[in-house]
Amino acid sequence: MLKYGKVLSSTEYKHYTMFGQLPSKSVVDIMLKYSDELKANHSLIQRCFKALDDRNVEP
């Protein structure tokens, strides 16, 4: 959940105890369906990652 969206894989499958064998992007998508609050916070974190990646951080 705390990874930058760019590094989540949608093709490399791994086994997750709760979700079975899925790509990491699918696991995040499934988890975001559980809660609107989680989805909002995840979106905020992703925007922060993008700003840091673009070096577009203003005080």
Residue 36 pLDDT = 95
The mean pLDDT of the chain is 88
Residue 57 pLDDT = 67
Residue 44 belongs to domain spanning: 5-54
d(CA 13, CA 33): 20
Residue 21 pLDDT = 92
Residue 59's pLDDT band (cuts 50, 70, 90)? low
Q: What is the pLDDT of residues 14-30, one digit of tens each?
A: 898 888 899 989 999 99
Task: Decide if 50 is inside a domain.
Answer: yes
Q: Do residues 24 and 14 make contact, with C-beta atoms less than 8 angstroms apart? A: yes
How many domains in the chain?
1
Q: What percent of the chain has pLDDT over 90?
A: 46
Task: Decide if 59 is inside a domain.
Answer: no
d(CA 37, CA 45): 12
